Structure 1
Amino acid sequence: MQQGHPRHKQLSRARHEMAVHRRYMFAKKINEGMHSFVNGVRKVMNSVVNAIFNTLETETLKEKPEIKDIYSEMHNPKGLIQIVPPKFNE
């Protein structure tokens, strides 16, 4: 007397292989995602470090630019004489 369908063993094995395949593909995608995340963080860190070094390597201005005080020029009339006390420390 036949106990079950003759293809039962084959179908059961196919279901098992599919489950293992799905588990493998899920783990593979998780691994690829983590790998791409780490690569992205590495690229960001490299660009930040390069930007910091590039700003440190820029040459400073040799002559300081003259800063004009526009506010005091507007509110000090040109006709008045400003008295500057002498400096005795020189």
Structure 2
Amino acid sequence: MQQGHPRHKQLSRAKHEMYLHRRYMFAKKINEGMHSFVNGVRKVMNSVVDAIFSTLDTEPLKEKPEIKDIYSGIHSPKGLIQIVPPKFNK
């Protein structure tokens, strides 16, 4: 004699798999949320640290002595015009 619905085993297995899938998806979303939160906190901390360091008083850079290009002066042909790039001093 039959002891219940013939598809009972299949249906109960499907319910169990759906339960596992929902649990997995919940954990996955929690993990992604925590990951994005940590990345956001890291970006905020980096920007705060960069702002702190940019506001600190630093010594102005000393001007470096110019290095003369002796080689191009000796080996440049006399007929061509040399173009000197502009110097940008602050």
Both structures adopt the same fold (TM-score exceeding 0.5): yes
- Provide the rounded CA distance (Å) in 1 between the counterparts of 2:57 and 2:9: 71
Question: How many Å apart are 1:17 and its aligned residue?
Answer: 2.0
Q: 1:26-70 deviations in whole A, cap 9, x for unaligned? A: 011111111101110110010011010011112230x31202142
**Which residue of structure 2 aligns with residue 64 of structure 1?**
60
SS of equivalent to 2:31: helix
Residue from 3, 6, 12 that aligns with 2:2: 6
**Which residue of structure 2 aligns with residue 86 of structure 1?**
none
TM-score (norm: length of structure 2)? 0.62
- Provide the rounded CA distance (Å) in 1 between the counterparts of 2:23 and 2:6: 25
Structure 1: runs of 5 or more not aligned: 76-90
Output the aligned Cα RMSD. 2.2
2:19 paired with 1:17: no
- Provide the rounded CA distance (Å) in 2 between the counterparts of 1:69 and 1:53: 35
- Provide the rounded CA distance (Å) in 1 between the counterparts of 2:57 and 2:33: 36
Residue from 13, 28, 43 that aligns with 1:33: 28
Question: How many Å apart are 1:11 and its aligned residue?
Answer: 5.7
Residue from 34, 39, 48 that aligns with 2:43: 48
Which 4+ runs in 1 deviate beyond 6 A? none
Question: How many Å apart are 1:21 and its aligned residue?
Answer: 1.1
TM-score (norm: length of structure 1)? 0.62
